[in-house]
Structure 1
Amino acid sequence: MARPNTKREHIEEAAIRLFATKGLARTTIKDIATAAGVTEGALYRHYPGKEEMAWKLYNRELDIFTRIISDILLDQRLEFQIRLTLAIRAIYDYYHANTEKFAFILLTQHGFPEDTLPHGVLDPMDMAVHFVGQAIGEGEISPCDAELHAALLMGAILQPLVMHRYGRLELGPDTYCQVAVACLRVLGAKQ
């Protein structure tokens, strides 16, 4: 039997949903309290304020998401093209299973000061740069600017999801395959 959600979990779910739909700047403590069915005071018992709540939730959700992707990208037992395709599939599967959390991660990052955003092995952009650099080093792709190509890769993967979120693109069960093929072309992957 699944354990019941706690009041804190209800608050966090409501906050993520609101941050994903209204944005960080336009969401108020009152909005979160109303959506969670609690008083504003209940929120302050768990968090000092909205920004601290958003920051903690952002880091938690980003960590969960990036661990899924990093486990695939760093698995040296798999060939480059397979790792890339599986990572894209995992991203699309995560998006479909956690649309609001995905939107929260993707869109809320722009509401935080740049110097507070994560950098390193579990930052998606740094992970992509490392992956592209590794592919260059292994001869899977021709020498190129790893940062530029990682940015192109991220855009090719994420923009269809953004367009879907705003109702401008339908995603089919094989969309991730089409995206993977496009990404391999962008990277100039050796066939």
Structure 2
Amino acid sequence: MRDGTATRNKINRVAMELFAEKGVTETTTKDMAAGAGIAEGTIYRHYKSKDELVRKLFLSLYEEQGSSLLEIASSEEDLKQKIADMIARFCQLFAEDKALFTFLLLTQHGQLKQVPDDMITPVVVLRDLIAQGQNAGAIKQGDPDLMAAMVLGVVVQPAVFHVYGRLTQDYKSFTQDLTEAAWGVLGLN
């Protein structure tokens, strides 16, 4: 008996791409099935509903990105380089998998309430790194949650502009400017 992992992965990838392109509301299970080359009923063997698919996919991908940033935060680099590496990671993700980045960006508002308190997320990793930097005297004092939101805003708002066609350059070309802006927010200039 097959475990269905390959089919589930195909459903997830196609769904994510369609959600990023068309939006969650506009994407139907029929669209997903056609894109994955499967019968529509196959989706329901893996997920109870489209809402469950969106929720599980978001949580999985969001935690994956948090783990990626935790790896950077745990590195031996100095604090300033860790922030630079995190910004570079965001820019690389956008450039290499715009559908994934766009899916996370556009669905977060409906899904963040579902994030368990103990989940490793990009926000938690960045906030904790900022708090550590403040405790070490390397980052200016302030609310670590607010500062994390500000740093994420430096990266996310240009991404929104890119998704909607306001910015058209290769997103990785913004890496240095975004990094310097994030350093400015944190007082790391």
TM-score after normalising by structure 1: 0.87
CA 1:130–1:24 in structure 2 vs 1: closer, same or farther (change >3 Å)? same
Is 1:171–2:165 an aligned residue pair?
no
CA 1:113–1:105 in structure 2 vs 1: closer, same or farther (change >3 Å)? closer
CA distance in 2, matches of 1:172, 1:111: 25
Deviates more, 1:28-37 or 1:10-19: 28-37
How far does residue 38 in structure 1 lie from its aligned partner after superposition?
2.0
CA distance in 1, matches of 2:141, 2:156: 24
Look up the match of 2:99: 100
Is 1:157–2:121 an aligned residue pair?
no
How far does residue 121 in structure 1 lie from its aligned partner after superposition?
5.6
Look up the match of 1:134: 132
CA distance in 2, matches of 1:73, 1:124: 11
Counterpart AA for 1:14: V
- The percentage of counterpart residues that share the same residue type is 31
Is 1:13–2:6 an aligned residue pair?
no
Is this contact kept in 2: 1:120–1:126, CA < 8 A?
Answer: no
CA distance in 1, matches of 2:62, 2:112: 16
Higher RCO, Cα 8 Å, sep 6+? 2
Look up the match of 1:29: 29
Is this contact kept in 2: 1:109–1:117, CA < 8 A?
Answer: no
CA distance in 2, matches of 1:19, 1:118: 23
Look up the match of 2:144: 146
Is this contact kept in 2: 1:119–1:126, CA < 8 A?
Answer: no
TM-score after normalising by structure 2: 0.88
How far does residue 172 in structure 1 lie from its aligned partner after superposition?
5.5
How many pairs align? Answer: 184
Structure 1 unaligned spans of 5+: none
Is 1:187–2:183 an aligned residue pair?
no
